[in-house]
């Protein structure tokens, strides 16, 4: 398996594949992981959960700042009452997220060909010839393009990328400033801007910047800027246009331009080539959802790809990746487009719209629905009619087993599926899938509570996929279990 791109999506996917025993390598254009600035500002609740499912959430939590980060169009949404072990987001810059992910991938012994890039590929019936510079190539069964918004893999595969052109752009940079800047968010006729120290703490929900040190700058431009690398001069001019001064900006360590271009790959797969993360969807950073969506794409795809490569499941399993993840990103595109409008320059009519939306967001039901969407906690894959848990994330319950207490997420650390029998011990038989699925007899006495939906009836058994989504629930019988096992984990006795 070859993954083009070692950003957050590629790294997560590599980890998932390595856990499943797949021979995988990453080809990454950047010479080192920290060779760019901090784009994304952190992780949402569901992403923290998926990292917890792999037993690595603490690595991120100890470095970041836990806070109520959810917001929609400028309205803060508190999720502290949500039924999850992580009812918050995590402030942590992307370079740190990538460093921690890269450390995990290193422990899993995934080779990363750094300073190399995928320049093309050719696929046939048995695999993909992945081209590298200097006439070198790698042969793989599958190639996954995790190579970002300008994805070469997407372009070369001919997969269409329909959507909307940018209406606005902003410069984002890290630099020093001679004068003390006006820290915080600033709105004017151009739109929204922000200046903050790279180092900060969250105290009582408030961001407290450290004194001195590099400044993280985000300044909206008057009109969508040209393609190509922006310069210190562009930054200085944009700052002067907004703040009347550039605060003596100097020692630029990183600069980039982002836009609200909104596009999504028409298909996430073309035979042996797949797309994930920004390669499959781009949108404005409003609500901070891009990295989170990419990491969760990887967690949806990894185990499926592993089962196909390991010959446990037929190739058709890969079609469920597009079927499940395309609608998730389509919803992100929609909500970021709506937020872009709410972030537009001050104008009486837009102010009225912002007030109206913020009034709505202060009501409990809209708050819960929007916050569950933005945090990723309400994601529901359409697996047909049935118990409300079907297709939704399995809550991290505290179970009791014959061997003592057990957290559900602990069962998922190795990215292996689990069948939880909460009824009569020994009442479920999965001998034909032995070795593929963990079967655990357990008891759980508490309420089953899901985000937005509230309390749901307790199932007698739950089949949990490696991505933490529920593939089947029992109601006292094993009706439908064999079908679910075959659909998700291959035909009986196939290994």
Ligand X SMILES: Cc1cc2nc3c(=O)[nH]c(=O)nc-3n(C[C@H](O)[C@H](O)[C@H](O)COP(=O)(O)OP(=O)(O)OC[C@H]3O[C@@H](n4cnc5c(N)ncnc54)[C@H](O)[C@@H]3O)c2cc1C
Binding mask 136-165 for ligand X (x = CB under 6 A): ----------xxx---x-------------
How many angstroms separate the Cα of 51 from the Cα of each of 321, 413, 436, 456? 19, 9, 22, 25
Kindly give, in sequence order, each residue whose CB lies less than 8 Å from that of residue 151, ignoring residues fewer than 6 positions away: 4, 5, 145, 275, 278, 279
**Least distance in Å: CB of 335 to ligand X?**
13
| Residue 41 in the binding site for ligand X (CB under 6 A) | yes
CB 322 within 8 A of CB 267: yes
**Least distance in Å: CB of 260 to ligand X?**
11
How many angstroms separate the Cα of 224 from the Cα of each of 9, 326, 340? 27, 27, 14
**Least distance in Å: CB of 95 to ligand X?**
10
Applying CB under 6 A, the site for ligand X has a residue count of 33
Check the CA dihedral 191-195-200-205 and report its sign: negative
Exactly one of 168, 220, 289, 300 binds ligand X (CB under 6 A); that residue is: 289
Classify residue 68 by burial, with Cβ atoms within 10 Å: 0-12, 13-18, 19+.
middle
Exactly one of 17, 20, 24, 40 binds ligand X (CB under 6 A); that residue is: 40
Query: Whose CA is closest to 297, among 315, 314, 320?
Result: 320
How many angstroms separate the Cα of 255 from the Cα of each of 173, 196, 258, 263, 342? 4, 15, 10, 23, 25
- Tell me, what DSSP letter sits at residue 148? -
**Least distance in Å: CB of 25 to ligand X?**
11
| Residue 255 in the binding site for ligand X (CB under 6 A) | no
**Least distance in Å: CB of 435 to ligand X?**
33
Exactly one of 15, 181, 225, 294 binds ligand X (CB under 6 A); that residue is: 294
- Tell me, what DSSP letter sits at residue 458? P
Exactly one of 1, 10, 61, 171 binds ligand X (CB under 6 A); that residue is: 10
**HSE (CB half, 13 Å, CA atoms) of 463?**
26
Helices and strands counted in the chain (H then E)? 12, 32
| Residue 101 in the binding site for ligand X (CB under 6 A) | no
Q: Which is nearer to ligand X, 42 or 466 (CB)?
A: 42
Separation of alpha carbons 217 and 23, rounded Å: 41
Exactly one of 14, 19, 24, 27 binds ligand X (CB under 6 A); that residue is: 27
Q: Which stretch binds ligand X (CB under 6 A): 40-48, 180-188, 386-394, 413-421?
A: 40-48
Q: Which stretch binds ligand X (CB under 6 A): 22-30, 50-58, 304-312, 368-376?
A: 22-30
Exactly one of 121, 258, 321, 472 binds ligand X (CB under 6 A); that residue is: 258
Q: Which stretch binds ligand X (CB under 6 A): 21-29, 219-227, 360-368, 377-385?
A: 21-29
* Binding stretches for ligand X (CB under 6 A): 4-10, 27-30, 39-42, 94, 117-118, 146-148, 152, 172, 258, 277-278, 285, 288-292, 294
């Amino acid at each position: 398996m070859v993954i083009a791109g070692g950003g957050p999506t590629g790294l997560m996917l590599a980890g998932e594949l390595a856990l499943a025993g797949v021979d995988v390598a990453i080809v990454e254009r950047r010479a080192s992981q920290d060779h760019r600035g901090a784009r994304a500002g952190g992780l949402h609740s569901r992403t923290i959960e998926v990292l917890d499912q792999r037993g690595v959430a603490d690595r991120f939590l100890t470095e970041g700042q836990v806070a109520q980060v959810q917001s929609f169009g400028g309205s803060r949404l508190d999720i502290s009452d949500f039924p999850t072990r992580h009812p918050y987001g995590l402030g942590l810059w992307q370079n740190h997220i990538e460093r921690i992910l890269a450390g995990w991938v290193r422990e899993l012994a995934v080779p990363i060909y750094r300073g190399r890039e995928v320049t093309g590929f050719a696929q046939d019936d048995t695999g993909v010839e992945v081209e590298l510079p200097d006439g070198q190539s790698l042969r793989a069964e599958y190639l996954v393009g995790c190579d970002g918004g300008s994805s070469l893999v997407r372009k070369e595969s001919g997969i269409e990328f329909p959507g909307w052109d940018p209406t606005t752009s902003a410069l984002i940079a890290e630099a020093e400033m001679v004068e003390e800047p006006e820290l915080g968010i600033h709105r004017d006729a151009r739109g929204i801007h922000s200046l903050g120290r790279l180092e900060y703490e969250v105290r009582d929900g408030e961001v407290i910047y450290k004194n001195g040190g590099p400044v993280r700058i985000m300044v909206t431009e008057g009109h969508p800027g040209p393609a190509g690398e922006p310069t210190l001069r562009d930054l200085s001019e944009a700052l002067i246009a907004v703040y009347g001064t550039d605060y003596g900006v100097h020692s630029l360590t990183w600069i980039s331009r982002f836009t609200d271009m909104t596009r999504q790959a028409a298909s996430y797969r073309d035979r042996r080539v797949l797309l994930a993360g920004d390669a499959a969807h781009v949108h404005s950073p409003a609500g901070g959802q891009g990295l989170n969506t990419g990491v969760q794409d990887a967690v949806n795809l990894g185990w499926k790809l592993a089962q196909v490569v390991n010959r446990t499941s037929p190739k058709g399993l890969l079609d469920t990746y597009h079927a499940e993840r395309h609608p998730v990103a389509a919803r992100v595109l929609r909500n970021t487009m709506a937020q872009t409008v709410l972030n537009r320059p001050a104008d009486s009519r837009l102010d009225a719209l912002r007030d109206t939306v913020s009034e709505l967001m202060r009501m409990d039901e809209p708050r819960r629905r929007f916050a569950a969407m933005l945090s990723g906690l309400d994601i529901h894959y359409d697996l047909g009619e049935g118990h409300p848990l079907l297709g939704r994330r399995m809550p991290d319950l505290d179970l009791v087993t014959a061997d003592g207490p057990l957290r559900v997420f602990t069962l998922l650390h190795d990215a292996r599926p689990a069948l939880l029998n909460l009824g009569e011990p020994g009442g479920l038989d999965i001998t034909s899938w032995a070795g593929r699925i963990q079967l655990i007899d357990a008891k759980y006495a508490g309420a089953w509570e899901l985000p937005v939906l509230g309390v749901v009836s307790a199932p007698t058994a739950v089949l949990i996929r490696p991505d933490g989504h529920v593939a089947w629930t029992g109601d006292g019988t094993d009706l439908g279990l064999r079908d679910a096992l075959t659909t998700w984990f291959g035909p009986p006795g196939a290994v």
